[in-house]
């Protein structure tokens, strides 16, 4: 057994030596390939072993940078190429949105699909640059690297409106068990843990490590993931069962409307009736019924008296409707201001009316509003705005609304990817309602990755989620992030089920990212002090080794 471990360790160290020695385009290609491997650990592939390959290679490339004459430049380059491969494979699907109106925007797809990954890769490049300034040998460099990389993921989620898409921990959200610990330290904490585990095998690939020990370190990611899933499974096993008497029933609608039809003003009426067709029928029990329609299901619904009259006739009397909509208001200059909104439609005694609204506050740059509108208008790109001159206006922030006596936190599409921004402080609801339209992105990994991010919001808050998506994936998710029902991509249908109960607020819902920052601080302290401790232990043991060698 020892000999087999030693042989494996020798092979690993030889491979690591070759990676450290790479220069030029070969080094760039290795970083790029490692990033591609990391992206394959995300939905829909979930190839978790490739995440370990990705970060182990990244760490070894940083080892090579530390040995070079220009360590900072090479560390940044290694990180940038890693990030470029990771994001190119991870967000390629955004190019599909430019082909919905191909006659106008197809020419922009190659630019967007390369420029965005190149920009996002600056964060991983910066993580490599900072890490190399703190570099150590042995296992301390692993925790230092994980802490630094995770901090740059946090910055990616906040700088310039933020884009926390495919955080490393997202690879664990393919199952509820793997993601349960996010209830304590959130998505960023889950990512930090995932990075530590993924890079753990590289701890044995420093120079001077015994071959047998190098092979043993291969078990670190396996053992760590096993523990993570065991803890998650135990938390799920201890979860309370649902009540036999639900407080409400949910009917989640997925109309499966082609995106070109959805944005065609002439087909708004047809689209309205496709949602309505899936909404008819009384509640299956005595509890009130809440119907959920996807994003932009009924533009300008609160102004459409004819549509409201149809709803009054066709929907069950006791039902309320939560519908994705577009609403508008006139500003002081007499111009229309448009909002990507959610409307709550109920009978207020005078017929069906919009009794409450939520306006999306975290808008997608270039997709929902145009930064630098004056410049873009001057070069002829103002047509990118979906409504009005510069696109949608932003709402005031997270909200909690009521529908049929049930308090819910509304999230529209992109907003569901942001940890810690689900509802206003002190206004804890019973439910999260997410409406989205991923039809822009086709049958790709994008809609599936989006679903995984949504389930993390339920785990972090301890709230169930009703998710209505135009073409999918619509789902009912319980307060532990388990997907109770779903409708696959590009299938029309509905989910009808009792409202799952909320649970007591998890630690993350109460303290936010505090535990995550404590973990990062502890990791940096342990990593920096651990190197000193390792040197002291070696110094103490050296006399014993010398004595043991004497005949």
- List active site positions: 295, 360, 413
- 514-520 long-range contacts (CB < 8 A, ≥24 apart) are 515/184, 515/185, 515/186, 515/189, 516/154, 516/185, 516/186, 516/188, 516/189, 516/192, 519/185, 519/189, 519/192, 520/147, 520/150, 520/151, 520/192
Backbone angles phi, psi at 470, to 5 degrees: -55, -55
Cα–Cα distance for residue pair 112/108, rounded to 1 Å: 6
Cα–Cα distance for residue pair 453/157, rounded to 1 Å: 13
User: Which letter, b or e, does each residue of 364-382 get, where b requires 16 or more Cβ atoms within 10 Å of its Cβ?
Assistant: bebbbbbeebeebeeeebb
Helices (H), 321-400: 373-378
CB 126 within 8 Å of CB 152: yes
CB 461 within 8 Å of CB 451: no
Secondary structure class of 490 (helix, strand, coil)? coil
Secondary structure class of 43 (helix, strand, coil)? coil
**Opening angle at CA 154, ends 153 and 157, nearest 5:** 90
- Six-digit token pair at 518? 């404590």
Q: Would strands 249-254 and 289-292 be described as parallel, antiparallel, or unpaired? A: parallel
């Amino acid at each position: 057994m020892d000999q087999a471990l030693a042989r494996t360790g020798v092979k690993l160290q030889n491979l690591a030596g070759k990676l450290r020695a790479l220069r030029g385009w070969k080094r760039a290609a290795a970083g790029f390939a490692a990033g591609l491997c990391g992206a394959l650990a995300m939905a829909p592939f979930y190839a978790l072993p490739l995440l370990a390959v990705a970060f182990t290679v990244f760490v070894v490339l940083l080892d090579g940078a530390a040995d070079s004459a220009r360590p900072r430049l090479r560390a940044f380059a290694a990180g940038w190429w890693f990030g470029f491969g990771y994001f190119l494979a991870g967000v390629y699907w955004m190019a599909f949105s430019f082909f919905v109106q191909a006659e106008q925007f197809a020419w922009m797809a190659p630019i967007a699909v390369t420029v965005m990954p190149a920009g996002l890769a600056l964060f991983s490049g910066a993580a490599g640059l900072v890490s190399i300034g703190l570099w150590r040998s042995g296992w301390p460099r692993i925790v230092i690297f994980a802490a630094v990389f995770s901090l740059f993921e946090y910055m990616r989620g906040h700088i310039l409106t933020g884009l926390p898409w495919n955080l490393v921990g997202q690879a664990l959200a393919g199952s509820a068990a793997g993601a349960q610990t996010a209830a304590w330290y959130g998505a960023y904490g889950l990512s930090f843990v995932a990075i530590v585990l993924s890079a753990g095998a590289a701890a044995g690939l420093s120079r001077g490590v015994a071959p047998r020990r190098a092979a043993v370190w291969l078990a670190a990611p396996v053992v760590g993931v096993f523990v993570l899933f065991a803890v998650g499974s135990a938390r799920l096993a201890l979860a309370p069962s649902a009540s036999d008497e639900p407080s409400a029933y949910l009917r989640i609608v997925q109309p499966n409307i082609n995106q070109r039809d959805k944005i065609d003003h002439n087909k708004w009426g047809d689209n309205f009736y496709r949602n309505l067709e899936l909404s008819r029928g009384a509640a299956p029990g005595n509890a009130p019924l809440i119907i959920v329609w996807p994003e932009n299901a009924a533009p300008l619904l609160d102004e459409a008296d004819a549509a409201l009259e149809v709803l009054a006739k066709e929907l069950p009397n006791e039902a309320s409707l939560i519908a994705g909509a577009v609403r508008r208001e006139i500003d002081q200059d007499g111009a229309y201001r448009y909002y990507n909104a959610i409307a709550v439609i109920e009978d207020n005694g005078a017929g069906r009316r919009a009794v409450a609204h939520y306006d999306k506050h975290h808008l997608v740059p270039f997709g929902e509003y145009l930064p630098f509108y004056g410049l873009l208008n001057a070069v002829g790109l103002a047509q990118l705005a979906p409504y009005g001159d510069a696109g949608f206006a932003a709402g005031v922030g997270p909200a909690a609304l009521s529908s049929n006596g049930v308090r819910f936190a509304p999230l529209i599409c992109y907003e569901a990817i942001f940890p810690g921004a689900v509802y206003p402080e002190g206004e804890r609801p019973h439910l999260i309602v997410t409406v989205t339209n991923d039809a822009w992105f086709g049958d790709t990994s994008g809609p599936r990755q989006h679903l995984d991010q949504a389930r993390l919001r339920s785990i972090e808050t301890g709230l169930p989620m009703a998710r209505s998506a135009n073409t999918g994936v619509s789902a009912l998710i319980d307060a532990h992030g388990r997907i109770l029902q779903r409708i696959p991509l590009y299938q029309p249908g509905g989910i009808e089920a009792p409202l799952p109960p909320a649970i007591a607020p998890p630690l993350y819902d109460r303290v936010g990212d505090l535990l995550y920052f404590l973990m990062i601080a502890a990791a940096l302290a342990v990593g920096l002090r651990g190197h000193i401790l390792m040197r002291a232990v070696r110094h103490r043991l050296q006399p014993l080794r010398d004595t043991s060698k004497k005949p």
